[in-house]
Amino acid sequence: MMKQAVLAGAVLVGLAAAPVFAADEAWVAKVAKGGMAEVELGKLATEKASADTVKQFGQRMVDDHSKANDELKTLAQSKSITLPTEIGPEDKALRARLMKLSGPAFDQAYIKAMVADHVKDVSAFRTESKTGKDPDVKAWAAKTLPTLEEHLKMARDANGTVGTSGTKTTPKTTKK
């Protein structure tokens, strides 16, 4: 009887912990998709960008996110998490839109997307690094966060150089 009670208690504890880990698992899968997209879009930027800053930023995305993706893959394997094999629909749509652009129009659209994406990434990684339940996932998020913060700064700096600072200038009209 005591063994059954202990076993039942262990099962209940296991079930209670499962949804918490499920949240971390879902976060890992989402991050994996985003990381793959950063690499794909970065490669596209190295090919299509007209501004050197944008090409360099794209290459940095390829380098840093490839490294992070490899680390995440190792972490996921150690946790028996199956990672997605392709980017999500939003990123596919962005890639398709960017592929149709060239020159300054590409530069502006790519950098604008990278600023928006990295704002979300920094927020998500900051949250996971503080509130994640799996200690290894939480530690990886904390370790990766400074690189993403640097990417956000770089994207914002590039944003200013390619003319997408978000401020619209309108010519002043004088009344007679």
Asked if residue 7 belongs to a domain, the reply is: no
DSSP for residue 79:
T
Is the pLDDT at 170 greater than 70, yes or no? Answer: no
Question: Which residue is listed with tokens 């200013």?
Answer: 160
Asked if residue 2 belongs to a domain, the reply is: no
Asked if residue 152 belongs to a domain, the reply is: yes
Q: Which CATH number is 83's domain given? A: 1.20.1260.10
Q: In this predicted model, what pLDDT tens digit does every residue of 45-87 receive, in sequence order?
A: 999 999 999 999 999 999 999 999 999 999 999 999 999 999 9
Asked if residue 171 belongs to a domain, the reply is: no
Q: Give the pLDDT score at 88.
A: 94
Q: Give the pLDDT score at 19.
A: 37
Asked if residue 49 belongs to a domain, the reply is: yes
Q: Give how many domains the chain has, as a whole number.
A: 1
Count CB atoms within 10 A of the CB of residue 9: 10
State the alpha helices, DSSP H only, in 49-102.
52-78, 89-99
Phi, psi values for residue 88, rounded to 5°: -75, 170
The boundaries of the domain holding residue 90 are 21-161
124: buried, middle or exposed (CB in 10 Å: 19+, 13-18, 0-12)? middle
Asked if residue 102 belongs to a domain, the reply is: yes
Q: In this predicted model, what pLDDT tens digit does every residue of 4-19 receive, in sequence order?
A: 444 444 443 443 334 3
How many percent of the chain have pLDDT more than 70? Answer: 81
Q: Whole-prediction pTM value?
A: 0.80
